[in-house]
Structures are given as structure tokens and as C-alpha cells.
Amino acid sequence: MVDDESVLGFCADGPLLTAMGAGSLVCVPIGNGDGALTLVRGHDRPPFSLADLAVLQEVGLQLGLAVRAQTSYQSRSQAAEALSASVAPRNLPSVPGYEAAAVYHPGSSVGAEFYDVFPVAGGWGFALGGAAGKGEEAASVSAMVRGGLRVLSVWESDPDLVMRKVNEALVAQGTGMFVMAAAGFVKGRTIRMSSAGHHPAVLLQPDGGVRYAAGGGVPLGIAAEAETGQETLTVAPGETLVLYSEGLISSRNERGEPYGEERLADVLGRCAGQAPSAVVKAVEEDRNLFSGGQVWDEIVVFALRGV
């Protein structure tokens, strides 16, 4: 029963409980320090009983568990969003002499694919890759590699040397993870490429011809001495360089068949003369059609076209 009608404070009409016409009330804690649940009954209803108190105490306990679960979920969700933001740029910068576009689809869990475009001495650089595995640890390793490639490129003019130094750092960290990666430095019409076990880039020509680059190398983090593949490409006006993630190539249809590089080449061949945004969209739509819209691993497609 309400003995002190000022217990919940005052309003413009006096004590709040008086204004509410309260006859009885019950107040129970929500969890352990997560607030309180207060119920009020008017004079025209029977007062709360000890049985009501017991039920509401259990309700408060369950609400506390729900609050804690929600808080934990929000924290993990925010961490996942932060990790996702650390492996992909918010916007692609403008690379003089080129048009660039990309698509990035997260997988069914916190993933590890990354891509980036950044300034280097006398030009621009780009990188794409991903750690083997899933979850927050794999994503953090990918973020470390992405950041290392970007930072070291300030001082080094050779993408292969940058790749080797990132490998040294990754091995020294002792994460036990390896990372497939490709990086390129753009200076005029020349692109110097370095590959560490990544899928080869594709050069789409104005007449619809498709040529795969050499690629090659061994993923970062496996051995202290990196084994990389090196290549120098010339991207003329109208030609488009395309890089893509493992998640694209390994996407499967309902029969378990992989998307594969042959199908990718067929799609790109039909995109001759199109802008990079149209190219990456065509690949995205074809992959969705192939796999029924299902995405398990991250999908990254990056295109750079000479203008």
C-alpha cells in the first residue's frame, strides 16, 4: 500500500502518486544495477500482493539478463562494424588518368577481405587481399596488413619491397595466419604489381579481349623470406584492370559448382568499353544470379580503367 505519496517525487499537481490516484505500488530491481521496474495500481483495484512481488522479481531478473545480452550484442556489433570499416575505404579517391570503382559485400560473419587505394610517391597505390579464416582475429590481421601496405608505401617506391616488409612484420607478430594479397603502384600508364599468393588481376581490353596477369607468389605470413610474383603492366586508355577476392571465385551455385575465373572472364568480355562502375556491377549481378543471392564469404571487385 502507498504510505508515502511523495516517494516517486512531485509534479505540477503535487505528489506524483496522488496525481496518478495510486493505491498501491511495487518496485523491483532489473538485474544487478540495471535499473528498476515500478508498477502502480489505482485505488479502484486490489493492492499488489506478495505473490505479485515474487512474480515481478522474476520478471526483473529476466529483464536484467535481456539488458545484458543486448548490451553485449551491441558492443560486438559495434566492434564488427569498426573492423569492417578498417578493411575497406569509405570512398575511393580520384586517381589522375583513371576511373575507379569497387563493390564490397560482407560475408555471413566478420570477414577478412580488404581493399584500398592510397597515394604513393609520384603516383597512387592500390591493394586487395584477405587473411585465411573468419572472425575478429582474421579481420584484425587483414586490417594490420592493409595499414602496413598503406604506411610503408609512403617511403618505398617498389610495391614488392613493401609487400616483403609487411611479410616480415606479419611473421614477427606470430599471429599464425597467412594473408593472400596483391598490390600495385600506378605511375602514368605503368602499373607495377606484386602478388603474394593472390588471384591474378585481369586486363580487359577495349575489343573485349581478356588477359590474366601472372599473379603468383606465396601468401604473407608463411615464411620469414617472402616469395612474391612481380609484373609490370601497361594500362592504355580504354583498358580496365580488374582485381577480385577469393570469395567471388569460390562462390557456389545450388549444385556446389564454383563461380570460377572462366565465368568471370566471360562476364568481363561482355563489358568492353564500359565504365568501371558498370563492370563491377555486371560482375556483382552475375555472381548473385549464379549463387541465388547467397553470400558466405566477402565479395570484393575492384576495377581501374585508363581514360
pLDDT on residue 205: 96
**Statement: the pTM of the whole predicted model exceeds 0.75:** no
Mean pLDDT calculated for residue range 18-46: 90
pLDDT over 60 (residue 115): yes
Q: How confident is the model at residue 269 (pLDDT cuts 50, 70, 90)?
A: very high
pLDDT at position 121 is 83
CB-CB contact of 183 with 217 (8 Å):
no
Band of pLDDT at residue 28, cut at 50, 70 and 90 = very high
pLDDT, position 75? 53
**pLDDT tens-place string over residues 211-239:** 999 999 999 999 999 999 999 999 999 99
Mean of pLDDT values over 46-63: 90
Residue 4 has pLDDT above 70, yes or no: yes
